[in-house]
Amino acid sequence: MSPPRSRIPVAVVGATGVAGQQFLASLANHPWFEVKRLAASARSAGKKYRDALTESSGAFRWYCAEPLAPALAELAVEDAEQMDASDVRLVFSAVETDAARVLEPRYAHQGAAVVSTASAFRYEPDVPVLIPGVNVDHLGLIEIQRRKRGWKGLITPGPNCTTIGLCITLEPLRQQFGLRRVLMTSMQAVSGAGRSPGVLAMDILDNVVPYIAKEEEKVEKETKKILGRLSGDDIVPHDVKVSCTCTRVPVLEGHTEAVFVELERPASVAEAKAAMRAFGEGLKALGLPSAPERLIHVHEDPYRPQPRLDRDHGDGMVTVVGRLREDTALGDTALKYVLVSHNTKMGAAKGAILTAEILVQKGLAG
Amino acid sequence: MSPPRSRIPVAVVGATGVAGQQFLASLANHPWFEVKRLAASARSAGKKYRDALTESSGAFRWYCAEPLAPALAELAVEDAEQMDASDVRLVFSAVETDAARVLEPRYAHQGAAVVSTASAFRYEPDVPVLIPGVNVDHLGLIEIQRRKRGWKGLITPGPNCTTIGLCITLEPLRQQFGLRRVLMTSMQAVSGAGRSPGVLAMDILDNVVPYIAKEEEKVEKETKKILGRLSGDDIVPHDVKVSCTCTRVPVLEGHTEAVFVELERPASVAEAKAAMRAFGEGLKALGLPSAPERLIHVHEDPYRPQPRLDRDHGDGMVTVVGRLREDTALGDTALKYVLVSHNTKMGAAKGAILTAEILVQKGLAG
Amino acid sequence: MSPPRSRIPVAVVGATGVAGQQFLASLANHPWFEVKRLAASARSAGKKYRDALTESSGAFRWYCAEPLAPALAELAVEDAEQMDASDVRLVFSAVETDAARVLEPRYAHQGAAVVSTASAFRYEPDVPVLIPGVNVDHLGLIEIQRRKRGWKGLITPGPNCTTIGLCITLEPLRQQFGLRRVLMTSMQAVSGAGRSPGVLAMDILDNVVPYIAKEEEKVEKETKKILGRLSGDDIVPHDVKVSCTCTRVPVLEGHTEAVFVELERPASVAEAKAAMRAFGEGLKALGLPSAPERLIHVHEDPYRPQPRLDRDHGDGMVTVVGRLREDTALGDTALKYVLVSHNTKMGAAKGAILTAEILVQKGLAG
Amino acid sequence: MSPPRSRIPVAVVGATGVAGQQFLASLANHPWFEVKRLAASARSAGKKYRDALTESSGAFRWYCAEPLAPALAELAVEDAEQMDASDVRLVFSAVETDAARVLEPRYAHQGAAVVSTASAFRYEPDVPVLIPGVNVDHLGLIEIQRRKRGWKGLITPGPNCTTIGLCITLEPLRQQFGLRRVLMTSMQAVSGAGRSPGVLAMDILDNVVPYIAKEEEKVEKETKKILGRLSGDDIVPHDVKVSCTCTRVPVLEGHTEAVFVELERPASVAEAKAAMRAFGEGLKALGLPSAPERLIHVHEDPYRPQPRLDRDHGDGMVTVVGRLREDTALGDTALKYVLVSHNTKMGAAKGAILTAEILVQKGLAG
């Protein structure tokens, strides 16, 4: 498909929260999409967006580094419960899981393609958990989803922000060498927890917290699904064994993951690097505005990747890998490496926008 | 052996550096040991210890939380190159590796038991790398060491600060269930790098550094040696496979390690916890002043251990474990857990002092 | 008064929150006080204290470094709305301001001496804002308070945690040299904001926040009241001019304040240091268990005080001063200095306990 | 002057250090300047710049967020002691003070305009300490400097990084209302200390350090000089009284300063804001590539400025002010405010480049 002739009307739901703001920051000058509707809870409904973010103290609760676009600041906020999605083609949903369970099917029923950062539908058999460049073929599920649920629109959630960098680096290894086992320890940024309640400074300064509720289960389950194979009406999960320990560290943005992986077939370090470096060429070729040049950057400097230095590589859309080397313990065909992935860019809003671009390109949005 | 009747004269070499200061802080009220000599580089020699730490700006470069004992403050600092160790029974050495290579044999030759935090002699076949409670039988090497080198004294270095917590938690598993493979990712405190050059704030604030030069090799090599078996004149390294990724995080003290371990024989989570909780009873029974009640504390709270909350458990001598659970990927008999170990207490000066207590108790010091 | 013969029964209200926990940690082995009752919101009422802190995930929400005393862990939590304070002599109140406004008078009416960390009654003309060693004579208000309000008990709130270190250092200067003007910039620890909502890591890592709502007004108003003079039924506020800028920094505990002060009469740096160093002798002489040797420690090292190194001086009860020097801009008789004060020890629970000891010693509690 | 027709050849001395790298990062695409020569210590001389930054471990010691321009990476590094500056028109000097004292006059003698971040010449009577937009008229000293020293070139150091934001905000107040007294407390970023030795993580995590050697004297002295008046062959320092306390906080970039200022004539808060907001219009009008739209941005949100959120305003060239309000203690015509200034952009390399642009525009460079 060639780029759309006029900009496509989209809505952002959960617009006043951090994740919603990240959608607005990323959509501000988007060549294909135009934000027409903003929705949030009833408390903000009826206000101008700018006013909904302004507290009585004068504090302005806009949390992105990018400034708020003046046009968006003037938009009126709607009540997400009341919003009619039938005149937009895409809904970017950044609401909490419970709200997502109710609202997202409603918008999908009204005809919108709902691209979501919530986990509510990730584990439904007819819902793909899409990572651009990794499992676009899973969009074959959409037809089944529509048939089964009677929707004109669709729902495609993105994966957990810890899953995404892992799957992006595993997929080129899977394609060329096969995967047997993955053991991963994450060191996750505080922004992954959002703001309500978020991570308190008291809990994380000079500290590591070795547990993030439900995170490890999500990574393990989503990784198998994403790397799985569409077969008939179902995704057959990949039989790779995945085990992880997810921790929180005093880092603002950028999840770091130390990965040990056993392959099915031997790969030299050079071959593995080459596979990663080539990964994502096809995506760029599609002409999607948010696609990076490549999906993975591989460092030779042993002190990289570092979340502060590497999270913004390719505007936060590139997974940065380093320390790729043989592993001596996991098996005869094992490697280990460290990755950094931007949890609130590729891992959330900007990743979802790239997914939306693919939906448009495939003729699935509107 | 019963406790010594009068306090044993000891020397601290490298006394002005951070590690040396930690020796002094820990020895201040030691019931068995009395610091008689302090040595450092020629630059400090001849000064009172207090003055050697005081800069012209008035800054007082004492880095421990514990105050400097007044009696130690008044001791004169000797030149480590010139110090005669023949009238002390123990030398605690906190010098750099290159200096250790020259100085430590000299003191051992003069008759002192040298307990060292340096790595200079760790990989010599006749030198035990001692962890109290783990491999005290390796002291059988001392006789060989003395015979081969013609020393009246001896050298026993402690392990790398990252190795120690790992081996302490692996040993009870080894004893009861056998070990096949260990995969570990560390999140290490900045104090592990000391002060020269140490870790710059610019490099670690809001960041993780995924590499510590030579650290992984040390952990892998030392772990096999420490868990190995004394046989004839040699230590046969344990054939457990060990692979790790060592990272630095913005934490002051306390190394955190995420461990995946495959056992030879199945262990339930409850059995593994029980083995860890019982570990170190014998050590306490020996009546050593620095021995903790047990060597390992196991938490049930999934949010523990955390370095800030757990590093000082048992005055920094206890390795704290949490999140002990089945591992689903490494093998049929695998577990995973997280540990926190105080890198500058059990992992350095205080661990070395406990080793010295064992040497005294075995009649090996002086 | 000599020490009480048997331990005095006390209650802690707001016991499950951070400030309440700090009361329990500090009262665990208190020689005079015995915690008989614990109260919190209805949500916790009826549970054992230990259970009230334990979440369904297994997380144990005890936030103090000191372990929870086993006896306290087994106490049943009461509903603060229902608690009858008539059989305790002291109530330590750590509830929010709105709850304090309702509950504290009720307990005072029932006969308890209520020592509070809440601000609800600080600005009432018949309520002293007590700092031990600074304005104990303000307890003369209690008689007026009782008369006017018909209470058998009393309410004495402590000051804001930022006010306390400032007043402790100003009082010896006031006594000897008089005070004209004070300009102060604070760098406050995150623990000062508590946990609900507290300071998010996202907001303070690699950052300074230059505003704390209502803080500057509190410091300015409370300082004048605390340094004021009891005259008849009223406190005449001191006419010192006070202006401050309160900021938040990425520090866990310990407020740092940079103070510029103009005196009425000239003081050399040496005289000012001497005045500060002598301050608090009388308090110690009273035999109060929580009183430190002196209220102020003055450093000569220009790099001190630092919150991490100095906050625990005298178990957190001593205000630590450094960089005391002439000021060249504020006036001909001006000084400047930096102080560190432990905001959750002397600045909250432990300061309140010291106040309670004074109440007992003066025969005002029960 | 209109923009130069062809790019002006410039040299960067001290090119391998952090400050030198910042020059290179900022000059990479500069429309007027072209880096022709790089110089550093003898240790790096003869190597390609890229190789001079690469350690044997593979670590690449480039410390800027901006990537190193490929063309610069290939330039050969010269020995600063040997470099002949006669074929460049500008030398950007980022060497240490001692080296600056020797090297900078040599380059000035060879005909170059030396713009320096070192303090070596700041306090010479014939050397202006230039802040663009604040005291450009001080360039009148250059003629005297050349006459007195026999140079064809010149030396203009920038001020200390803590002075610059202070003077930029004071100058519009001085112009409209006059200045009597300034009391300032700084909370400075760790990058201000550079890398050798720099600030250790061990010293600043969870901490504030209340002293920076010589910093307060620099700010006090430089502020009076910069705000002073050129009269004949001399600068008459402004008679404003300046007193400050300079502290270090755990912030990467961006100095925060809490300022109390007494004016000569009354200014309402609105008038002071207006004066600040208008400041720097003239500079932009000159067509200098590095000049920001305005020199000061004034926030109404009381929670601003924050170093992490505001340091990059106007690409690090804008001083951001907030909390501008009446001061009640310093005098009848006093204000207080908080500012954030980027210490390594406007406060170092980029500020120096803007100064160089002014020199070119005034015909003083080459």
What per-residue confidence (pLDDT) applies to C264?
Answer: 98
Distance from C-alpha of B364 to C-alpha of B354, rounded to nearest angstrom: 14
pLDDT beyond 90 at A53: yes
Q: What is the pLDDT of residue B5?
A: 75
Nearest-Cα distance to chain B for D77, in Å, is 25
Q: Judge if B20 and B135 occupy the same domain.
A: yes
> Residue A28: exposed, middle, or buried by beta-carbon count in 10 A (0-12, 13-18, 19+)?
middle
Q: For residues C139 and C189, state if they share a domain.
A: no
CB atoms within 10 A of CB B50: 16
Instruction: Indicate the average pLDDT of chain C.
Output: 96
B269 close contact with C: CB closer than 8 A: no
In total, the C-beta contacts within 8 angstroms joining chain C to chain D are: 136
Number of domain units in chain D: 2
Measuring CA to CA, which residue among C55, A219, C47 is closest to residue B300?
C55
On whether the CB atoms of residues B152 and B250 are closer than 8 A, the answer is no
pLDDT at C1: 53
Write out the H or E segment, with its range, that includes residue C323: strand C319-326
For residue C307, give the nearest of D207, D243, D258 by CB distance.
Answer: D207
Q: Is B179 in the A-facing interface, judged by CB distances under 8 Å?
A: no
Please confirm, yes or no, whether A161 is among the known catalytic residues.
Answer: yes
- Determine contact: C252 vs chain D, CB below 8 A: yes
**In a domain? residue C2:** no
Look at residue C329 and tell me if it is in a domain.
Answer: yes
Q: Report pLDDT digits (tens) over C198-213.
A: 999 999 999 999 999 9
Contacts of A307 in chain B (CB under 8 A): 206-208
Task: Output the pLDDT for position A192.
Answer: 92
Question: Residue A2 domain-assigned?
Answer: no
Q: How far away is chain C from the Cα of A56, in angstroms, using its nearest Cα?
A: 12
Nearest CA in chain D to B58: D213
Calculate how close chain C gets to B256, using CA atoms only, in Å: 18
Strand-strand pairing, A179-188 and A255-263? antiparallel
Rg (CA), chain C: 20
C198 touches chain A (CB under 8 A): yes
In 3D space, the residue among A124, A132, A118 whose CA is nearest the CA of residue A151 turns out to be A124
Q: Give yes or no: residues B227 and B140 share one domain.
A: no
Q: Do C199 and A195 touch (CB under 8 A)?
A: no
Alpha helices for chain C (secondary structure H) = 18-27, 49-52, 70-73, 97-109, 141-149, 161-177, 201-204, 215-226, 269-278, 281-285, 307-310, 349-361
Q: Compute and round to an integer the Cα radius of gyration of chain A.
A: 20
Band (pLDDT 50/70/90 cuts) for residue B366 is low
By C-alpha distance, the chain A residue nearest D202 is A206
pLDDT tens digits, residue range A305-364? 999 999 999 999 999 999 999 998 999 999 999 999 999 999 999 999 999 999 999 999
- Cβ–Cβ of C199/A198 closer than 8 Å? no
pLDDT, tens digit, 9 for 90 and up, residues A190-215 = 999 998 889 999 999 999 999 999 99
Q: Which distant-in-sequence residues (6+ apart) come within 8 Å of D18 by Cβ? A: D63, D191, D194, D195, D344
Question: Which tokens go with B178?
Answer: 């056998």
User: Is residue A326 packed enough to be buried (19+ CB in 10 Å), middle (13-18) or exposed (0-12)?
Assistant: middle
Q: Determine the pLDDT at residue A1.
A: 54
Model confidence at A2, in pLDDT bands (50, 70, 90)? low
Domain membership flag for residue D120 = yes
Residue D175 DSSP SS3: helix
Spatial distance between the Cα atoms of A77 and A47, rounded to a whole number of angstroms: 6
A201 touches chain C (CB under 8 A): yes
Which strand (E) or helix (H) includes residue C182?
Answer: strand C179-188
Q: How far apart are CA D117 and CA D276, in angstroms?
A: 26
Is a pLDDT exceeding 90 seen at residue C60?
A: yes
Given a cut of 90, whether residue C5 has pLDDT beyond it is no
Measured CA to CA, the distance from residue A335 to residue A357 in angstroms comes to 34
pLDDT the model gives residue C282: 85
User: How far is B342 from A37, CA to CA, in rounded Å?
Assistant: 53
Other beta carbons less than 10 A from residue D286's beta carbon: 15
Chain D residue at shortest CA distance from A310: D65
Q: Which domain holds residue C251?
A: 162-341
Query: CB–CB of C340/C307 below 8 Å?
Result: yes
Cβ neighbours for B271, distance < 8 A, ≥ 6 positions apart: B176, B177
DSSP B80-134: TTT--GGG-SEEEE---HHHHHHHHHHHHHTT-EEEESSSTTTTSTT-----TTT
CB-CB neighbors (< 8 A) of B336 in chain A: 243, 245
Same domain, B70 and B95: yes
SS3 C281: helix
For residue B316, which of B96, B114, B130, B65 has the smallest C-alpha distance?
B65
Report the alpha-carbon distance of residue D60 to residue A304 in Å, rounded.
9
Instruction: Return residues 296-355 of A near D (CB < 8 Å).
Output: 300-303, 309, 312
Q: Do A167 and A153 lie in a common domain?
A: no
D63 touches chain B (CB under 8 A): yes
> Which of C138, C238, C255, C299 is the catalytic position?
C255
Is A57–D302 a contact, with Cβ atoms under 8 angstroms apart? Answer: yes
User: A172 and A201, same structural domain?
Assistant: yes
C281 pLDDT more than 90:
no
Q: Which residues of C touch B65 (CB under 8 A)?
A: 309, 312
| Together in a domain, C93 and C212 | no
Subunit contact B201:D200, Cβ cutoff 8 A: yes
> Touching check for B58 and chain C: CB below 8 Å?
yes
Same-domain status, C141 and C205: no
Identity of the residue in B206, B300, B303 whose CB atom sits nearest the CB atom of C205: B206
Check whether residue C190 and residue C322 sit in a common domain. yes
Cβ distance of C209 and D303 shorter than 8 Å? yes
Contacts of C251 in chain A (CB under 8 A): 205
Using CA atoms, how far apart are residues A148 and A128, in angstroms rounded to an integer? 14
Asked if residues C354 and C317 have their Cβ atoms less than 8 Å apart, the reply is: yes
| Contact with chain D for residue B250, Cβ under 8 A | yes
d(CA B49, CA B35): 12
Mean pLDDT, range A19-47, rounded to an integer: 95
Q: Does C55 touch chain B (CB under 8 A)?
A: no
Q: How many CB pairs under 8 A join A and B?
A: 135
CB contact set of C161 (below 8 Å; sequence gap of 6+)? C192, C255, C341, C343, C344, C347, C348
CB distance B256–A323 less than 8 Å? no
What is the predicted pLDDT for the residue at A366?
Answer: 67
Q: Is there a single domain that holds both residue B153 and residue B110?
A: yes
- HSE on the CB side for D160, CA within 13 Å? 23
The percent of residues above 70 in pLDDT, for chain C, comes to 99
Contacts of C270 (CB under 8 A, 6+ apart): none
Neighboring chain C residues of B309 at a CB cutoff of 8 Å: 65
Half-sphere exposure of C340 (CA within 13 A, CB side): 28
Show which subunits contact B, needing at least 3 CB pairs below 8 angstroms: A, C, D
Distance from CA of A241 to the nearest CA of B (A): 5
What amino acid is encoded at A3 in this protein? Answer: P
Residue D59 to residue A303, Cβ atoms within 8 A: yes
D229-231/D234-236 β-pairing? antiparallel
**Tens digit of each residue's pLDDT (9 = 90 or more) over C232-266:** 899 999 999 999 999 999 999 999 999 999 999 99
Give the one of B198, B202, B206 whose C-beta lies nearest to D202's C-beta. Answer: B198
Considering only residues C56 and A154, tell me which one the structure prediction assigns the higher pLDDT: A154
Interatomic CA distance for residues B23 and B46, integer angstroms: 20
Residue in D58, D65, D302 closest to A302 by CB: D58
- Residues from chain C that touch B205, judged by Cβ atoms under 8 A, are 205-206
Closest alpha carbon to C204 in C263, C247, C264, C144? C247
- The confidence score (pLDDT) of residue D2 equals 62
Between chains, do D208 and C304 touch, taking CB under 8 Å as contact?
no
Residue D110 to residue D87: CA distance in whole angstroms: 9
Give a yes or no: residue A269 inside a domain: yes
- DSSP label at D48? B
Task: Pick the residue of A202, A212, A216 with the most C CBs within 10 A to test the interface with C by mutation.
Answer: A202
D225 and D322, same domain (yes or no): yes
Which ranges of chain D have pLDDT less than 50? none
Nearest to D303 among C211, C303, C309 (CB): C211
* CA distance linking residue B303 with residue B321, whole number of Å: 11
- Predicted confidence at residue C3, as pLDDT, reads 66
Report chain B residues whose CB lies below 8 A from the CB of D200. 190, 195, 198-201
Sorted by sequence, the CB contacts under 8 Å of residue A207 that are 6+ apart come out as A250, B251, B306, B307, B308, B309
> Residues of A with CB below 8 A from B327's CB?
183, 243
Residue B3 within a domain:
no
> C108-127, pLDDT tens digit by residue?
999 999 999 999 999 999 99
The CATH number that applies at residue C35 is 3.40.50.720
**D chain contacts of residue C220, beta-carbon cutoff 8 Å:** 328
CB nearest B302 (choices: C58, C65, C312):
C58
What pTM did the predictor assign? Answer: 0.97
Poorest-pLDDT segment among C7-16, C189-198, C254-263: C189-198
- The residues of D annotated with a catalytic role in the active site are 161, 255
Q: Are residues B133 and B80 located together in one domain of the fold? A: yes
- State pLDDT tens for residues B112-144: 999 999 999 999 999 999 999 999 999 999 999
The whole-number pLDDT of residue D281 equals 87
**Among the listed residues D14, D35, D33, D66, the one whose alpha carbon sits nearest the alpha carbon of residue D345:** D66
Q: What is the ipTM of this complex?
A: 0.96
- The radius of gyration computed from the CA coordinates of chain B, to the nearest angstrom, equals 20
Per-residue pLDDT at C4? 75
Q: What is the dihedral of CA A273, A276, A281, A282, to 10 degrees?
A: 140
Would you say C37 and C84 are in contact if contact means Cβ atoms under 8 Å apart? no
Q: What are phi and psi of D241, to 5 degrees?
A: -85, 130
The CATH number of residue C306's host domain is 3.30.360.10
Residue D2 lies in a domain: no
